[in-house]
Amino acid sequence: MSLQLGDTVPNFTQASSTGKIDFYEWAGDSWVVLFSHPADFTPVCTTELGEVAKLKPEFERRNVKVLALSVDDVESHKGWIGDIEETQSTQLNYPILADPDRKVSDLYGMIHPNANNTLTVRSVFIIDPHKKLRLTLTYPASTGRNFDEILRATKDVDRSGQPFTKISRLRQVFPIEKQALRGKIPPQTLRGCPLLSRLSLGVIDSLQLTDNYQVATPADWKEGNDCVIVASIKDPQELKQKFPKGYKEVKPYLRMTPQPNK
């Protein structure tokens, strides 16, 4: 049975890019965002890990530790971290669990066999200091996650795990909510939570785009942003034909192209 909200998450000991981790001990009294990646040296994952490294101070301000997981081994992670730091202009400042035996992936249900038999999907588990599961998200390999949304989720509870009041949540930095608070737009605009609708629309745009074109969308992608060309296309003629607007090769597996249907 898969992990459900309110469950106590299982402990594990596993190797990571920064040494062996006993999860409960490592988490201590902090909140944890545990998030999985399909594989090392893949384009969308590279952008996601870079984005989380840049946001780490924001997570720390909220007493949240971040922990990535990819099914490859520690040696592979160490090589990949070099690429992430070089291409995303950041220092990888948190551990990546190495899970070649799928111990943690199986324990947390990160492998969805009908999506892929061996690689993890993009799972997110937000775990509170009592080791209770408070939020989960599951994205497919082709859609990079929106880390502002994950930060927003950790903002919705204070350090003791109590939900913030509605008004304190509205005081956060989202522009439409802020305008409504200042009386600049009518409060009914908030009905249906426009922030959430904007995020859901972005995810649907990504799913449909990646179904129709051979692209994936990087971390925090929005309609109109550049996309990633899927790794399976290597033939220069095919690349030219499928991506007539051209592309930038950051790494052989990380090639950015303007959104194909724009």
Query: How would you class 84 by CB atoms within 10 Å of its CB: exposed for 0-12, middle for 13-18, buried for 19 or more?
Result: buried
Among 14, 32, 36, 38, binds ligand BEZ (CB under 6 A): 38
- Indicate if 45 belongs to the active site: yes
Q: Name the minimum Å distance from CB 233 to ligand BEZ.
A: 12
Confirm or reject binding of residue 50 to ligand BEZ (CB under 6 A): no
Q: Which of 15, 27, 33, 45 is catalytic?
A: 45
> Amino acid identity of 240?
K
Cα–Cα distance for residue pair 198/67, rounded to 1 Å: 27
Confirm or reject binding of residue 69 to ligand BEZ (CB under 6 A): no
* Cβ closest to ligand BEZ, residue 108 vs residue 139: 139
Residues 6 or more apart whose Cβ sits within 8 Å of residue 242: 213, 214, 233, 260
Confirm or reject binding of residue 209 to ligand BEZ (CB under 6 A): no
User: Total number of residues binding ligand BEZ (CB under 6 A)?
Assistant: 10
**Contact range with ligand BEZ by CB under 6 A, out of 39-47, 50-58, 219-227, 232-240:** 39-47
- Three-state secondary structure readout of 136-159: EEEECCCECCCHHHHHHHHHCECC
Place of tokens 């111990």: 103
Q: Name the minimum Å distance from CB 41 to ligand BEZ.
A: 9
Within its chain, how far is the Cα of 131 from the centroid? 20
> Amino acid identity of 44?
V
* Cβ closest to ligand BEZ, residue 77 vs residue 134: 77
Place of tokens 């051209």: 246
Residues 6 or more apart whose Cβ sits within 8 Å of residue 214: 229, 230, 232, 233, 242
* Cβ closest to ligand BEZ, residue 142 vs residue 259: 142
Among 15, 44, 121, 256, binds ligand BEZ (CB under 6 A): 44
Among 39, 81, 137, 207, binds ligand BEZ (CB under 6 A): 39
Confirm or reject binding of residue 202 to ligand BEZ (CB under 6 A): no
- Using DSSP's 3-state secondary structure scheme, residue 43 falls into helix
Confirm or reject binding of residue 233 to ligand BEZ (CB under 6 A): no
Asked if 226 contacts 178 with a C-beta cutoff of 8 angstroms, the reply is no
Q: Name the minimum Å distance from CB 206 to ligand BEZ.
A: 12
Confirm or reject binding of residue 141 to ligand BEZ (CB under 6 A): yes
Confirm or reject binding of residue 68 to ligand BEZ (CB under 6 A): no
Phi-psi region of 241 (alpha: psi -120 to 50; beta: other; left: phi over 0): alpha
Q: Name the minimum Å distance from CB 227 to ligand BEZ.
A: 10
Q: Which long-range contacts (CB under 8 A, 24 or more apart) does 114-118 make?
A: 115/140, 115/141, 116/38, 116/141, 118/71
Confirm or reject binding of residue 157 to ligand BEZ (CB under 6 A): no
Among 17, 30, 36, 42, binds ligand BEZ (CB under 6 A): 42
Asked if 15 contacts 100 with a C-beta cutoff of 8 angstroms, the reply is no
Note the residues at the interface with ligand BEZ (CB under 6 A).
Answer: 38-39, 42-45, 141-142, 216, 228
Residues recognised as catalytic? 45
